[in-house]
Structure 1
């Protein structure tokens, strides 16, 4: 990336009301068959346009082609029964009805490659594509076959690697693995979770990222955050080992969080995606607020390694709010670029 402070989104953006129910997570599709396929591509074009107009440097599909950030991949795999549901406690904080692993998991064909090819045909900008991470996949299922979270995670890592290699070949510049479970299951992260991510990125030449968030801005997550105290130091448990990994970028939440920004120093040498947009409320940050968050982050990471982004997915937000937040992200990053240019010329 040649642009200083390249901006991106961490995950989902709101879907149009004609595609699925707005302001609702994981809402069912309103269409079927070919009509649905066409509608997803229309939505992808719209969300790309929103990103470009907002000055977002690294674009994505905004998860317009996916109902759920984990299960949309899982539903295409052999060995998982999507109809056989079990209620389990996920992320160790709320109950969810999830699919069941009934046999050996495998991937028979690419899942997202055609979507990537279509997005790539629309833009010359760098493209970032998100996949669920192995630990988070395991934590979003009921395993009736392997009976081992580690073994299932490693099987998923192989599948993710297969998919990632084809996404790279289709034109993706950054592949991001979403691992909200990394802020919960610290022993598993350090024992085998990071190793599973290493397996998932094996052989890739594109940049790779791990997005580690505190979850969507839904009540279950905001209530949990209230129990974390005045400082959220969960990243302290995993960043030292992530710093040693082969991942290129690590994503963390910053704006409106209680994350001590000095924790970024634990990632020395890595590129850091700094969440400068809060998705847990409808207030649109001003560009000056975004710039303030980025200035703080620059105390702990070099400018050429700072990637401003949103916090976790914005799917549940009204579309006008999400557009406003994207515009502020782009404008806030531009404020800092100009400040850095002035500093450089004065040096």
Structure 2
């Protein structure tokens, strides 16, 4: 991106109510067969247009073609039984019924590549595609086969790398790996999590990003945040090692969070996708509030490495609120661009 402060979203955008039940994650589809395929493509077009209309620079599919940012990818793999379900604690926070790893995991065919090709055909803008990271994948399953979180993570890293290489070939400019688990399992992140992530992006020539947040604006996450006190320093545990990694862009949550902005000093030199939009509230930020968050970050990030974004995905929000937040993000970045060019 040649443009200063290029804007993007962290990932998901609300699904139109004709496609799926709105304002929910894991929302069931309202169409099936050919109608579902067409409906997903229509929704992708709608949100591409919304992003363009709002002035978002790096566009995405808004995850319109998938039910969930992790499980939709896993559904397409061998070795996981979705009928055989277990209740596990996800990210040490809330219980969920998840599928079981019953054998060696593998990928027989591409998962998102056709969707990415479709998005690429619709626009000349830079496009970003999100994949789940290895650690967040293992945290969304019950493993009855490998019995080792690390071993399963490395297997997933190989599979993700196959997918990422095909996404790159389809014309994706930035591949983002979603790793909210990096804010929870610090020892594992430093022992093997970052290494597994680097394996997932091995050999890629496009830009790579890791998205680490405090989660969607769902009750389990907002309740957890209330227990974190006045300063959220979780990033401190993983930033030093991430700073030394091969990952190009690090995405983090800064709007209405208690993350001390000076933690950015720990990843100086990296590109920063800075969450300047709170996804856990229906209140739409003013452009000036967005600009103020970005301004604070500029003490620790060079302007040419700052990518204004959202804290996390916006799937649980209404379309009107998400649209308002996209507009605010774009307008806030523009305020700062004018200041910097002056």
Is the shorter-chain TM-score for this pair beyond 0.5, marking a shared fold?
yes
Offset at residue 175 of structure 1 (A):
0.2
Deviations 1:73-115 (A, max 9, x none): 0000000001111000110011000010000000001000100
Partner of 1:151: 151
Partner of 1:111: 111
In 2, distance between residues paired with 1:202 and 1:108? 20
In 2, distance between residues paired with 1:170 and 1:144? 35
Offset at residue 26 of structure 1 (A):
1.4
Offset at residue 268 of structure 1 (A):
1.2
Question: Structure 2 unaligned runs (5+)?
Answer: none
Offset at residue 179 of structure 1 (A):
0.3
In 1, distance between residues paired with 2:338 and 2:229? 36
- 2:334 alignment partner, SS class: helix
Partner of 2:54: 54
Offset at residue 292 of structure 1 (A):
0.5
Partner of 2:87: 87
- Tell me the number of residue pairs that the alignment of Structure 1 and Structure 2 aligns: 342
Partner of 1:289: 289
- 2:160 alignment partner, SS class: helix
**TM-score for the superposition, normalised by structure 2:** 1.00
Partner of 2:67: 67
Question: Structure 1 unaligned runs (5+)?
Answer: 343-347
Offset at residue 17 of structure 1 (A):
0.2
Partner of 2:191: 191
- 1:256 alignment partner, SS class: coil
Partner of 2:336: 336
- 2:276 alignment partner, SS class: strand
In 2, distance between residues paired with 1:193 and 1:258? 25
In 2, distance between residues paired with 1:25 and 1:99? 17
* Structure 1 vs Structure 2 CA RMSD: 0.4
Partner of 1:309: 309
**TM-score for the superposition, normalised by structure 1:** 0.98
Partner of 1:169: 169
Say whether residues 1:327 and 2:313 are aligned partners. Answer: no
- 2:223 alignment partner, SS class: helix
- 1:277 alignment partner, SS class: coil
